[in-house]
Amino acid sequence: MLRLECKTFKSLSLEELHNLFALRSEVFVVEQDCVYQDIDQKDFNALHILGFDETNKLVAYSRILPKGESYVSHTSIGRVVVHKDFRGKNFGHVLVEYCIKTIEEHFKKTTIKISAQSHLVSFYNTYGFEKIGGEYLEDGIPHVAMLLSK
Is 95 within 8 Å of 49 (Cβ atoms)? Answer: yes
Is the pLDDT assigned to residue 33 strictly greater than 80?
Answer: no
pLDDT per residue over 78-114, tens digit each? 999 999 999 999 999 999 999 999 999 998 878 999 9
pLDDT of residue 32: 81
CATH number at residue 46: 3.40.630.30
Is the pLDDT assigned to residue 63 strictly greater than 80?
Answer: yes
pLDDT of residue 28: 85
The mean-pLDDT minimum among 32-36, 75-79, 100-104, 115-119 falls in 32-36
pLDDT of residue 43: 95
Using 50, 70 and 90 to split pLDDT, how confident is the model at 149?
confident
pTM over 0.85: yes
Is the pLDDT assigned to residue 133 strictly greater than 80?
Answer: yes
Which has the closest alpha carbon to 8: 42, 40, 38, 45?
45
Specify which residues 115 forms β-bridges with: 145
Can you tell me the distance from the alpha carbon of 76 to that of 46, in angstroms, rounded to the nearest whole number? 10
Average pLDDT over residues 18-26: 95
For residue 27, give its domain range: 3-149
**Domain total in the chain:** 1
